[in-house]
Structures are given as C-alpha cells and as structure tokens.
Amino acid sequence: VYSLDGLLVFGLLLVCTCAYLRKVPRLKAWLLSEKQGVWGVFYKAAVIGTRLHVAVAVSCILMAFYVLVVK
C-alpha cells in the first residue's frame, strides 16, 4: 500500500471480500452486523460491493489488466 495502485488494489480486494462475506449468513451476522466504528468499515465496504457490483467488477478487471500487462 505504498503507492496509489497498491492502495486501489487493497480497496478493491476489501470491497470484494466484504461483499462475498455478506452472502454467507453466519459470517454476515458475526462480522458485518456493526454499522459504526471500526467494524463499520467492513459493513460499508460490503454495501458498496453489493450495490455497485457492476462497477466493482469492471474496476477489478481493469486493475487486473493494469497489474498484469502494464505494470
């Protein structure tokens, strides 16, 4: 996370992981139940991942292309 592209990759991975964990009922109740505080960051990332799933998917594809081909 020392560069902008590393920070973007980290953010995309966080959003994708939290959106996936939101689909698992047991983990949703345990990890994504808090809406404020430190745990609220995971909840908000999961909401972004589920509501903007098309934009997140396109961003992941573009970032993968950037990391594999350009960089």
Q: Which residue ranges of the chain lie beneath pLDDT 50?
A: none
Its pTM stands at 0.83
Map out the domains of the chain as residue ranges. 3-70
Give the integer Cα–Cα distance in Å for 39 and 67: 29
Contact status, residue 16 vs residue 56, Cβ threshold 8 Å: yes
> How confident is the model at residue 1, as a pLDDT?
55
Helix (H) or strand (E) holding 48: helix 38-51
